[in-house]
Amino acid sequence: MNSTPSWSRSPSPYAPARPQLSTLKSLARLLPYARPALKAMALSTLAAGVATGCGLVFPLVIGAIIDGPVTRRDTTGLVWWGLALLSLGIGEAGLFFVRRIIIARPAMAVEARMRDDLYAKLQRLPVSFHDRWPAGQLLSRAISDLGTIRRFVSFAFIFLIVNILTFVIGVGILLSLSWALGLVVAALALPLMAVSFVFESKYRVLSRRTQDQVGDLATMVEESVLGVRILKAFGQSRHFAREFLRQASALRETELAKARVLAWLWAAIVALPEVALGIALLLGIREVAAGTLTAGLLVSFFGVAMTLRWPVDSIGWLLAISNETAAATERFYEVMDSPETIRSPERPSRIAPATVGDARGRLAFRDVHFAFADAPGEKVLRGVDLELAPGETVALVGATGSGKTALTALVNRLHDITSGTIELDGVDIRSLALDDLRRRVAVAFEEPILFSASARENVLIGLGGGAREGENAIGAGGVGPDTQAAIDRALRVAQADFVHGLPWGLDTRIGEQGLSLSGGQRQRLALARAIVGRPEVLVLDDPLSALDIHTEAAVERALRSVLATTTSLVIAHRASTVMLADRVALLADGRIAAIGTHSELMATVPAYRALLASDMYRASGDEPRVDAPDTDCRKEASR
């Protein structure tokens, strides 16, 4: 079997390459999380050790009975010996019960803390990380890998210690009973260590490969479920079923390879003690026959030796869990060690408090350059200069791939600029606390992402954490009158009053990603989410693309009340959206090629005229008039 995996240079195809740690070093990384549970682990280990000790004493008592009352044919004291054996049995069972009770809650707490930290880390990591990592890989780390770690903390680690100590103490007892026979049993330790070493190097490779394949399979299941409409519409269900079967078969082959390695290990672990016990039995019978060993001692010897079978037999199983846990720990820390490239500054700046008549929301792009992290040499933006006055609406137009969406993603730091500055009210946004920045800047994306929650909860997300002080948390069963008024206003502006007609109104759960709604309904609900918090800056990435022309006109009319008091940057893919803007900026070759009113650009910029005459901007049937003043164009769009 090839022990060099394809991921040996980089444990995950999504994580940066780094040296692979040994099993012990990987497991040692669990210490910060396991430290609060160490006391419970120690008590659980003690309970399991004493329980196992009861098992070791049991055959010694039987040997004493054989050499004592049985040999002397004196049965008067057998009751006390029987009570002693009963006490040992009850003690062993009770201590194993106590062991599980002691460790259950702390082990689950370890898993819970790791899952909480993993989830919080995923929220802090930049969008570029999530663009690179499949969701199934992250899900498998948050669920199956952490479950493996919990089982190690609550069981495997404890019994690795207990069983090793039991073997050492048991061999000591055997040597005290008969040093010659004890040496025979002790001699199996060396080949067991050699077998375990070979096993460890091969099994860990397969464990990691299995966990990665489980993540890939989870990704495919998730994508197939979310994209089931596409698969059915294009008749590709069978093709994806075959691909699923291929990946599942690859996982099965890896699991079978693990089973083969375990089979060889178990064969060795079972065979070696059998050989040792067979040799010890022959030698022991000869010593009893020669009178150098009593029958009771021989029974005690083999009783203790048989008690050691479980510690020996469990070595392979416990090593398997340990290796799986080491691989799971590596996978966990691949995420936890990922750099948080977009973070709040340690000492965030503050935007000065507003004074009477002070307008807020001045947004300025100054020589902004940007390239995606996975393609640093290919700049999407190459020196953007653009300033939006408070309350001004600027439409951003450009050909497909010109960088419009990338530019808007920089405003609330979904991505960070490569160079230059973006200022909000004169303050570099990178010096603002992220929570503060994202409370001031709201975004409505072209592709509306909704959550499997109620319509009210989806809208409430737009209020942000700090905006709901004094209100019940999302999903807690109610909101205050001011918050409800804000929700109602946002729904009216976004023309999303349809939610009141749902079976349970605002409390209706809208299904995963809101797929129980139409595309236009999802966009309107997402727009309501963006405006509910009355942000100072509103970024709209063509949020009306799924609406019919009449609904779009109604939304645009209602939106003007919001845009009149909010600084807005609107990506326009439809001519009617352009009419909402006070000015229009043409983005070309990563720069602002021209800016002005719609009429000015139509009259003086051939590239703008050609763009708006293209199919991309004529799809709505709203081809703007070249000679129409802006006010007339706006009226025309709202008819």
Flag whether pLDDT at 638 surpasses 50: no
Q: pTM here?
A: 0.78
**What pLDDT, on the 0 to 100 scale, is given for residue 1?**
38
Instruction: Look at 632 and 523; give whichever has higher pLDDT.
Output: 523
* 174/162 Cα distance (integer angstroms): 18
Asked whether 369 and 419 are in contact (CB, 8 A), the reply is yes
What pairs with residue 421 in β-bridges?
366
What pairs with residue 442 in β-bridges?
538
The CATH number that domain 23-336 falls under is 1.20.1560.10
Flag whether pLDDT at 424 surpasses 80: yes
Which tens digit of pLDDT belongs to each residue from 49-88? 999 988 888 888 888 888 777 777 777 777 788 888 888 8
Q: How sure is the predictor about 16, in pLDDT bands with cuts at 50, 70 and 90?
A: low
Instruction: Look at 545 and 620; give whichever has higher pLDDT.
Output: 545
Other CB atoms within 10 Å distance of the CB of residue 363: 25
**What pLDDT, on the 0 to 100 scale, is given for residue 324?**
86
Query: What does the DSSP 8-state code read for residue 614?
Result: S
Q: Which two tokens stand for residue 629?
A: 């003043």
Instruction: Look at 13 and 256; give whichever has higher pLDDT.
Output: 256
- Phi and psi at residue 379, in whole multiples of 5°? -75, 130
476-480 long-range CB contacts below 8 Å, 24 or more apart? none
Q: Which two tokens stand for residue 378?
A: 């290919």
* 124/24 Cα distance (integer angstroms): 29
- CA dihedral (177, 183, 189, 195) positive or negative: negative
Provide CB contacts within 8 A for 477, sequence distance 6+: none
Q: How sure is the predictor about 437, in pLDDT bands with cuts at 50, 70 and 90?
A: very high
**What pLDDT, on the 0 to 100 scale, is given for residue 625?**
40
Fold of 390-413+439-465+480-638: Rossmann fold (3.40.50)
Q: Which residue, 87, 84, 91, 83, is CA-closest to 48? A: 91
Other CB atoms within 10 Å distance of the CB of residue 558: 16
What SS3 state is found at 586?
A: strand
β-strand 441-444 against 427-428: which pairing, if any? unpaired
Q: Which two tokens stand for residue 97?
A: 């019960």
Domain range summary for the chain, segments of one domain joined by +: 23-336, 390-413+439-465+480-638
- Phi and psi at residue 580, in whole multiples of 5°? -75, -20
**What pLDDT, on the 0 to 100 scale, is given for residue 622?**
46
Which tens digit of pLDDT belongs to each residue from 240-275? 888 888 888 888 988 888 888 878 877 777 777 778
Mean pLDDT confidence for 359-364:
85
Element (H, E) at 626: none
Q: Residue 475, class by beta-carbon neighbours within 10 Å (0-12 exposed, 13-18 middle, 19+ buried)?
A: exposed
* 17/432 Cα distance (integer angstroms): 33
Flag whether pLDDT at 620 surpasses 80: no
End-to-end CA distance of the chain: 73
**What pLDDT, on the 0 to 100 scale, is given for residue 422?**
95
Other CB atoms within 10 Å distance of the CB of residue 490: 23
**Burial letters 147-175, b for 16+ CB under 10 A, else e:** ebbbbbbbbbbbbbbbbebbbebbbebbe
What SS3 state is found at 286?
A: helix
Percent of the chain with pLDDT over 90: 26
Flag whether pLDDT at 3 surpasses 50: no
Mean pLDDT confidence for 429-443:
91
Instruction: Look at 359 and 388; give whichever has higher pLDDT.
Output: 388
**What pLDDT, on the 0 to 100 scale, is given for residue 4?**
37
Percent of the chain with pLDDT over 70: 87
Instruction: Look at 390 and 624; give whichever has higher pLDDT.
Output: 390
Which tens digit of pLDDT belongs to each residue from 533-587? 888 999 988 777 667 666 777 777 777 777 778 898 988 877 777 877 899 999 9
What SS3 state is found at 570?
A: strand
Instruction: Look at 487 and 281; give whichever has higher pLDDT.
Output: 487
Asked whether 452 and 512 are in contact (CB, 8 A), the reply is yes
Asked whether 496 and 544 are in contact (CB, 8 A), the reply is no
**What pLDDT, on the 0 to 100 scale, is given for residue 617?**
63
Residue type, 180: A
Which tens digit of pLDDT belongs to each residue from 204-237? 788 888 888 888 888 888 777 777 767 776 677 7
Which tens digit of pLDDT belongs to each residue from 286-339? 888 888 888 888 888 888 888 887 887 777 778 888 888 998 999 999 999 999
Mean pLDDT score of the chain, rounded to an integer?
Answer: 82
Mean pLDDT confidence for 114-129:
92
Element (H, E) at 444: strand 441-444
* 538/531 Cα distance (integer angstroms): 8
